[in-house]
């Protein structure tokens, strides 16, 4: 098994006023390449913190965080930023698309950081739109798309620079059941057919059931592991 993610004895604390609150208590976790992992747990359990550490947008106070073979805990902020651009695709609950840009322009955003010609960027955007089934919505702005379509644009944006890992924070939390199912099927497809490692935080058991493994976090610890498939 090739490890995509490895967390060893990870401790994370936050300051709340004068108080320091430990959110993760010596957490250990390994995720293999190509896995589709769902992280569940009650609010405040630390699941989003865990996702942020894997995505490299937050730092552990102690312990090691290794993602795609890189020790994130040893990187500077600038190194982390560059690393995220090449290794992680992010999908958010509320899509977080730029409202003034078209779907295609939103998807193109990560590509602007790469040394690609305009034609190369257009080709990659077209391919990403095709994967998510929205080729005919390229010129639409987010307000002209349904919630499910917006989330699929967000997934295309996460995919377009071909990162090995997708980090999804409640990707179906703002969607109706049918749209949620479409998005989950898309994530499943990306995991199974394109070998993407997907780490998804969700409150939705039906969403978690689509994953190959479910992790439960409570009070800053993983409390059990269950292989679904």
Residues that bind other proteins (CB under 8 A): 48, 52, 55, 57-58, 77-78, 81-82, 84-86, 90, 92, 96, 98-101, 105, 109-110, 112-113, 118, 121, 157
Q: Are strands 213-218 and 221-227 parallel, antiparallel or unpaired?
A: antiparallel
Least CB distance to other proteins at residue 75 (A): 13
Least CB distance to other proteins at residue 5 (A): 17
- Contact between 40 and 216 under an 8 Å Cβ cutoff? The reply is yes
Angle at 31 between CA 29 and CA 32, to 5 degrees: 145
Helix (H, G, I), strand (E, B) or coil at 73: helix
Closest by CA position to 103, among listed 72, 130, 138, 63: 138
Q: Which is nearer to other proteins, 35 or 58 (CB)?
A: 58
Q: Which is nearer to other proteins, 14 or 189 (CB)?
A: 14
Beta-bridge mates of residue 36: 198
Q: Which is nearer to other proteins, 55 or 148 (CB)?
A: 55
Radius of gyration of the chain (CA): 17
Least CB distance to other proteins at residue 96 (A): 5
Query: How many other CB atoms are there within 10 angstroms of residue 64's CB atom?
Result: 14
Least CB distance to other proteins at residue 218 (A): 20
Q: Which is nearer to other proteins, 2 or 112 (CB)?
A: 112
């Amino acid at each position: 098994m090739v490890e995509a993610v490895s967390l060893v004895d990870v401790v994370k604390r936050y300051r709340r006023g004068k108080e320091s609150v430990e959110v993760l208590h010596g957490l250990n976790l390994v995720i293999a390449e190509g896995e589709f992992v769902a992280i569940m747990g009650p609010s405040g359990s630390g699941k989003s913190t865990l996702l942020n550490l894997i995505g490299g947008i937050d730092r552990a106070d102690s312990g090691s965080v290794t993602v795609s073979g890189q020790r994130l805990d040893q990187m500077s902020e600038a190194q982390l930023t560059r690393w995220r651009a090449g290794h992680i695709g992010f999908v958010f609950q509320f899509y977080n698309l730029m409202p003034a840009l078209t779907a295609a322009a939103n998807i193109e955003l990560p590509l602007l950081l790469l040394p690609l010609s305009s034609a190369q960027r257009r080709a990659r955007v077209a391919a990403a739109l095709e994967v998510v089934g929205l080729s005919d919505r390229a010129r639409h702005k987010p307000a002209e798309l349904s919630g499910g379509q917006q989330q699929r644009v967000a997934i295309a944006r996460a995919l377009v620079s071909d990162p090995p890992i997708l980090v999804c924070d409640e990707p179906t939390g703002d969607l109706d059941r049918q749209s949620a199912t479409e998005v989950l099927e898309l994530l499943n497809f990306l995991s199974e057919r394109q070998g993407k490692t997907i780490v998804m935080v969700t409150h939705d058991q039906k969403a978690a059931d689509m994953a190959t493994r479910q992790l439960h976090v409570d009070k800053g610890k993983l409390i059990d592991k269950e292989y679904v498939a």
